Amino acid sequence: MLPAITADKLTKRFGDFTAVNQITFEVKKGEIFGFLGANGAGKTTAIRMLNGLSRPTAGKAQVAGFDVYRQTEKIKRRIGYMSQKFSLYEDLTVRENIQFYGGIYGLPLAEIRRQMKQLVAGLGMEPYARNLVKSLPLGWRQKLAFSISIMHNPEIVFLDEPTGGVDPITRRQFWEMIYKAANEGMTVFVTTHYMDEAEYCNRVSIMADGRIAALDTPHALKEQFHATSMNDVFLNLTRPGRQAS
């Protein structure tokens, strides 16, 4: 089976500054892949290249089987994207957001109607379907945003800090939605700098200074660094003045 993402010495330079320095990795189909790193480590730049939004300086990468230099439009059709900061239009209702994104993704009207029912029912949001998104509690908004980001059934969904500030029960409901999507074969690429979320991933990569400093299952990383939590692994790898063992 073809990997969902392959990156081979993928590099991005801005003038003298190398933001992403020859990163090489693979993400398997149906995998929940955590993409971690300190602020400024190069995560955002790497993701923008994988999403077809930023042209790499050097190296190779394929996303959903398409080339990040030449086939960016094909990539954009096969991925979903959700960020904590902006995903839904707050001044539109739940239904209007679903309609709007369905249209953007080019789904047929019948399919949008079907999704509308299924998605709203799945979230238990029937009584609020005609309410403005801004009137919903944050946790619901985030769950709705995730459902909408995968309504066109993308091969890969990119989640940029999806659960910041959400209460612990809703946060778990959110992760169960992620598990469900992955279980059905979707590849999930998550960035977060909150380490408790890292432990939900099948595998985790940690970037430091533009490079991938470690990549493995959370379990194996904890063993490798003799750490009890991913937080300790992360500090070990990225704190100035400390050397990785």
Q: Which of 71, 72, 170, 224 binds another protein (CB under 8 A)?
A: 170
Determine if 89 is a binding residue for another protein (CB under 8 A): no
Q: What span, in angstroms and rounded, lies between the C-alpha atoms of 72 and 55? A: 9
Q: Which of 161, 215, 149 is nearest to 186 (CA)?
A: 149
Determine if 194 is a binding residue for another protein (CB under 8 A): yes
Minimum distance of another protein from residue 12's CB (angstroms): 19
CA dihedral 209, 9, 61, 81 (to 10 degrees): -10
Strands 156-160 and 79-83: parallel
Q: Which of 126, 165, 185, 223 binds another protein (CB under 8 A)?
A: 165
Paired tokens of 231: 């937080």
Q: Tell me which stretch binds another protein (CB under 8 A): 10-18, 65-73, 115-123, 165-173.
A: 165-173
Do residues 56 and 49 lie in contact, with contact meaning Cβ atoms separated by under 8 Å? yes
Determine if 6 is a binding residue for another protein (CB under 8 A): no
One-character DSSP codes across 138-192 = HHHHHHHHHHHHTTT--SEEEEESTTTT--HHHHHHHHHHHHHHHHTT-EEEEE-
Determine if 183 is a binding residue for another protein (CB under 8 A): yes
Minimum distance of another protein from residue 242's CB (angstroms): 10
Q: Which of 137, 185, 223, 226 binds another protein (CB under 8 A)?
A: 137
Per CB under 8 A, which of residues 138..157 are in contact with another protein? Answer: 138-139
Determine if 199 is a binding residue for another protein (CB under 8 A): yes
Determine if 169 is a binding residue for another protein (CB under 8 A): yes
Determine if 86 is a binding residue for another protein (CB under 8 A): no
Strands 156-160 and 187-191: parallel
Paired tokens of 152: 């066109």
Residue found by looking up tokens 């939605």 in the block: 177
Determine if 38 is a binding residue for another protein (CB under 8 A): yes
Determine if 128 is a binding residue for another protein (CB under 8 A): no
Residues that bind another protein (CB under 8 A): 37-40, 137-139, 164-170, 172, 175-176, 179-180, 182-183, 193-196, 199-200, 217-219, 230-231, 234-235, 238-239
